Structure 1
Amino acid sequence: MSEGGATTPGLVCSHHHLYSALARGMPPPPRTPDGFAEILELVWWRLDRALDLEMLEWSAKLGALEALESGCTAIVDHHESPSAIEGSLDVIAAACAEVGVRISCCYGVTDRHGVDGARRGLAENDRFLTAGGRGYVGVHASFTCTNDTLAAAADLARRHGVGVHIHVAEGPPDADAAQRLAGLSDERWLLIHGVHLPTVHGLEGTIVHNPRSNMNNAVGYANPVRFADVNPIALGTDGIGADMLDEFRVAYARLREHDVTAGPDAPWEWLAHGWALMPEARNDTVRWSYPSDDPWHLAYTPGVHALDVTIDGDQVLANGVATRIDPVEVRAKASEQAQRLFAALDELD
């Protein structure tokens, strides 16, 4: 324990959408969404269509900066920008490198934009991984992909020696995901959400729990302890920032709703499993504003933030301020790009 606060390894966000950092303050959808399917159609699928590479750069920088300020030194990102696919993963990786945060990238392949859109998404994953980028083959979700596209993504991942990073059974439209993906997965896959997965589902890989997002989208509770004997469990945010201590607290509160005898140990283990996905983060150091790193303390102590962060031997946060970039500039540029994004959203059908 360092003077003034506990010291831990860097935390890992095991599922993020850095492109959503500009979404705060966005104009309302054309009508109020009525359920999960319309939330996707009227909010998030409109947002990703409006993105260009300049918006993405500053969205990623803002998301990485906020991760750093929250003691999160590594992000597993899942990206979609159907109007700006080619090169998008390079933009995200470069933005995070500039801030100093570790990043694993993928592009979420989907057939929502036709056969050519799916082909371009697969090609972006292939190009990035072939060039030595760190990441997965991304797939949006089984319910927005044909069987051929799912098989092509699984084959591409095997050829690159990586897993597939895919939303699985998040809401009712994807409730049959286990059947659609049967025989395709392996232990390297990231299975995001799993809310509507049966307890016995037959899929290999790590299930990533995103409690705040699941509550926000009113899709239900994944109750991830039911998978623990078969699948490792990790913790992500699904794009709601990268404050992993906050996500841990919500994960614990949700678990307590279903089991009043539960302590914070299981949600803490879910958070710690991020180190299995990005093991280098174990070598990073974070000095916190609170004197204890006991999960029983952190589960009930809001407002804990990072004071100093060292990544790969380089101090990238000192006394709460990023050292590689100018936080004021990042926030100002991100605000400018957010206004461009909002204008683009107003022009969409």
Structure 2
Amino acid sequence: MSEEGATTPGLVCSHHHLYSALARGMPAPPRTPGGFAEILELVWWRLDRALDLEMLGWSAKLGALEALESGCTAIVDHHESPNAIEGSLDVIATACAEVGVRVSCCYGVTDRHGSDGARRGLAENERYLAAGGQGYVGVHASFTCTDDTLASAAELASRYDVGVHIHVAEGPPDADAAERLAGLSDDRWLLIHGVHLPTEHGLAGTIVHNPRSNMNNAVGYANPTRFAAANPIALGTDGIGADMLDEFRVAYARLREHDVTASPDPPWEWLARGWELMPDARNDTVRWSYPSADPWHLAYTPGVHPLDITIDGEQVLAGGIATRVDPAEVRAKAAEQAQRLFASLDELD
């Protein structure tokens, strides 16, 4: 324990949606969603349809800035913007690079917008990977894709020696995901949520737990400890910021609710799994405002924040302030784009 503050590698958000950073304060949906399927249809699928590349750039930059200010130096992002597909992954990667945050990108392929929409999504993944971008092949979820699209995504990922990044059994509409994906997955895949996966599901890959999102959408509790014998577990936010210490605390509280004897060690291991997914983050250095990085301390200590962060030998946060960008400017520009986004939402059917 150091009186000057504990030091750790940079934290990793193993599942994020940087396009959602502008959503705060968005107009209410046309009607109150009655369940998970309507939350998707009336909120998030409307939001992604309203995005253009300028909105996306400032949303990603704001999300990256807030990640940095929380000690998160690497983000595994999953993106969708059906009316602004081509070049969208470059926009996200550029925005993160300007802040100094590492990012792994993918475009979430879906047949929600027809076969041409799925084709364009696959093409954006391939274009980005072929150009040397770090990432996965993204798929929204099996319940919004045809079997042919799922097979094409798996083949594309195999061709580029990467995994598929896909929402799996988050809610009842996707409860048959294990059957739909049988025989396609491998150890490189990211299986997001897994709330409604059977314990013996037979899928290979890392399961990424997103406790706050699951609670927010009232889809149930994944109880990820049940998968630990067969699958590594990682921790993400599903777009609710990138404060991974906060997500760790929520994951621990949720685990304790399920098992009052549980220690914070399993959720900390889920957080640490991010270093396997984004290994360069191990070399980043975060100096914290609290003198211990012991999970038992952090689980019960609110307000811990980074003081200084070094990435690739460059100090990108000094005294809690980003050095590469002007935080006030990023927030002001993002607020302007949020108003454009809200106006676009009002114009949607």
Q: Structures share a fold, TM > 0.5?
A: yes
**Aligned counterparts of 2:203 and 2:188: Cα–Cα separation in 1:** 11
1:188-227 to 2 correspondences below 5 Å: 188-227=188-227
Return the offset for 1:32: 0.4
Return the offset for 1:174: 0.1
**Aligned counterparts of 1:3 and 1:135: Cα–Cα separation in 2:** 38
1:162-202 deviation per Cα after TM superposition (whole angstroms, max 9, x unaligned):
00000000000000000000000000000000000000000
2:60 maps to 60
2:250 maps to 250
Return the offset for 1:3: 4.8
Checking the alignment, whether the CA contact within 8 Å between 1:72 and 1:242 is kept in structure 2 is yes
1:18 maps to 18
2:187 maps to 187
**Aligned counterparts of 1:199 and 1:12: Cα–Cα separation in 2:** 26
What amino acid sits opposite 1:162 in the alignment?
V
What amino acid sits opposite 1:136 in the alignment?
Y
2:70 maps to 70
What amino acid sits opposite 1:340 in the alignment?
R
Checking the alignment, whether the CA contact within 8 Å between 2:2 and 2:292 is kept in structure 1 is no
Checking the alignment, whether the CA contact within 8 Å between 1:110 and 1:140 is kept in structure 2 is yes
Alignment root-mean-square deviation, CA: 0.6
What amino acid sits opposite 1:294 in the alignment?
D
1:175 maps to 175
Return the offset for 1:2: 5.4
- Tell me the SS of whatever aligns to 1:167: strand
- Tell me the SS of whatever aligns to 2:75: strand
Percent of aligned pairs with the same residue? 89
2:97 maps to 97
TM-score, normalising length: structure 1:
0.99
Checking the alignment, whether the CA contact within 8 Å between 2:195 and 2:220 is kept in structure 1 is yes
Return the offset for 1:325: 0.5
Return the offset for 1:310: 0.4
Return the offset for 1:302: 1.0
What stretches of structure 1 of length at least 5 have no aligned partner? none
- Tell me the SS of whatever aligns to 1:49: helix
**Aligned counterparts of 1:109 and 1:2: Cα–Cα separation in 2:** 47
- Tell me the SS of whatever aligns to 1:55: helix
Checking the alignment, whether the CA contact within 8 Å between 2:143 and 2:177 is kept in structure 1 is yes
What amino acid sits opposite 1:271 in the alignment?
L
1:319 maps to 319
2:85 maps to 85
Return the offset for 1:4: 2.5
**Aligned counterparts of 1:221 and 1:305: Cα–Cα separation in 2:** 28
The structure 1 segments of at least 4 consecutive aligned residues displaced by more than 4 Å after TM superposition are none
What amino acid sits opposite 1:64 in the alignment?
A
Return the offset for 1:125: 0.1
Checking the alignment, whether the CA contact within 8 Å between 1:11 and 1:281 is kept in structure 2 is yes
- Tell me the SS of whatever aligns to 2:21: helix
Checking the alignment, whether the CA contact within 8 Å between 2:106 and 2:138 is kept in structure 1 is yes
Return the offset for 1:5: 1.0
2:6 maps to 6
Return the offset for 1:303: 1.1
Equivalent pairs counted in the alignment come to 349
* 2:339 maps to 1:343: no
What amino acid sits opposite 2:319 in the alignment?
N
What amino acid sits opposite 2:193 in the alignment?
H
**Aligned counterparts of 1:111 and 1:192: Cα–Cα separation in 2:** 19
- Tell me the SS of whatever aligns to 1:307: strand
Checking the alignment, whether the CA contact within 8 Å between 1:2 and 1:287 is kept in structure 2 is no
**Aligned counterparts of 1:126 and 1:8: Cα–Cα separation in 2:** 34
What stretches of structure 2 of length at least 5 have no aligned partner? none
**Aligned counterparts of 1:219 and 1:258: Cα–Cα separation in 2:** 15
2:272 maps to 272
**Aligned counterparts of 2:2 and 2:53: Cα–Cα separation in 1:** 41
